Amino acid sequence: MHEAASAVKESPCILGQEQGVFAVYKPSGWVVHPAGEDDVPDLISWLTDQGEGALPVHRLDRSTSGVVLCSPDAAVRARLGQWFAERLIEKRYLALVHGELNRKGVIRDPLRDTRRGRKVEAVTRYQCLEQLEGFSLLELHPETGRKHQIRRHLQGLGHPIVGDRRYGPSDFQRIPGSPERLWLHAQAVRLPTGLSFEAPLPDVLERHRDLMRNPISAD
């Protein structure tokens, strides 16, 4: 089973609409752009079905849930794209990782870019919100937007994300009440204008977090 297969039944929804920007919730198991696989739902097709004419400005990994910014206006999309390129849009993620981390830190490890054929700058800031019996709940702020950046950075730090089959731990680790998906959620974005959008933690991750807080009931 794909790491996000259990979440495919969840549907997207529009979180908010303001100043020509649509914030859409993308569930885990969905791709942003059509993948050429009939059994893989995509956000663009869903947006088309809504009749809004909006198109996504950026991507999230198939396994990651959370906020995706869209707009039906090409000029708005161009402006948002420029803000992303200039690192003016703040992004906040939540992740549950293996092991216990310090209170906060910054990962500045360059990552190899396949298209460029070399390593490129990659910066991820993190803060430990809670330690849960050998795991840590983190808030993350990626300052750059490299492919699988958060997942690769946390693996390199020795604290891979729970449920990550590609960048996970090398040896089997039991996870009480495993949610059977990647434990990574794009929780919020904030534009340089002050406009912000937030996606609540999916029910499956919220329930798992609560179980991890009470390991007796998780067994």
- Out of 38, 42, 49, 61, the active site residue is 61
Annotated catalytic residue 61? yes
> Amino acid letter at 61?
D
Alpha-carbon distances of 156 from 6, 97, 150, 181, rounded to whole Å: 27, 12, 10, 20
> How does DSSP assign the chain, residue by residue?
--TTGGGTTS--EEEEEETTEEEEEEPTT-BSS--S-TTS-BHHHHHHHHT---EESS---TT-EEEEEEES-HHHHHHHHHHHHTT-SEEEEEEEEES---SEEEE---EEETTTTEEE---EEEEEEEE-SSEEEEEEEESS--TTHHHHHHHHTT-PBTT-SSS--SS----TT--SS--EEEEEEE-TTS-EEE-PPPHHHHHHHHHHHSHHHH-
The residues that are catalytic are: 61
